[in-house]
Amino acid sequence: MTTVYDVPADELITCAAQKLKENKDTTPPEWAGYVKTGAHKQLPPADKNWWHVRCAAVLRQIYIDGPVGVSRLRSKYGGKERNGTMPPSFTKGSGSIIRKALQQLEKLGYVKTAKEGRAVTADGRRFLDNVAYEVKQQSGE
């Protein structure tokens, strides 16, 4: 059986983002066109499909790391903030983007709220495993 661990992450996220884009419950909020993804960024994302890619990446991260909260996911999507003449320091990513993505994934039934944070449901695991199988078939392995 093919799982998330058997395929490259970038191909899995791209394919899962296309599947999520086809679903009407994962629509970007109205502010998604001009918002930055964190304080460490200077411009909003250039990719028009960035919302679905972030939702797929968050779902994959929850699948791999088990129950996680918004704070740990913010650390995952953070980066170095430039401080002028001072050395750069790490800054967490946007919590609002992650919260909205998690709410949409919960609405689809792929993620549930657990005591320790958010966890992947059986439907979410099945969705990602099916996407991983498709990616593996496309790569010809």
20-46 pLDDT per residue, tens: 999 888 888 888 878 888 878 877 777
CATH number of residue 61's parent domain: 1.10.10.10
pLDDT of residue 141 exceeding 70, the answer is: no
Query: Taking a C-beta distance cutoff of 8 angstroms, is the pair 92, 106 a contact?
Result: no
In the chain, the number of structural domains is: 1
60-79 pLDDT per residue, tens: 999 998 899 999 999 988 88
Q: What is the span of the domain harbouring residue 100? A: 4-139
Token couple for 19: 């599947």
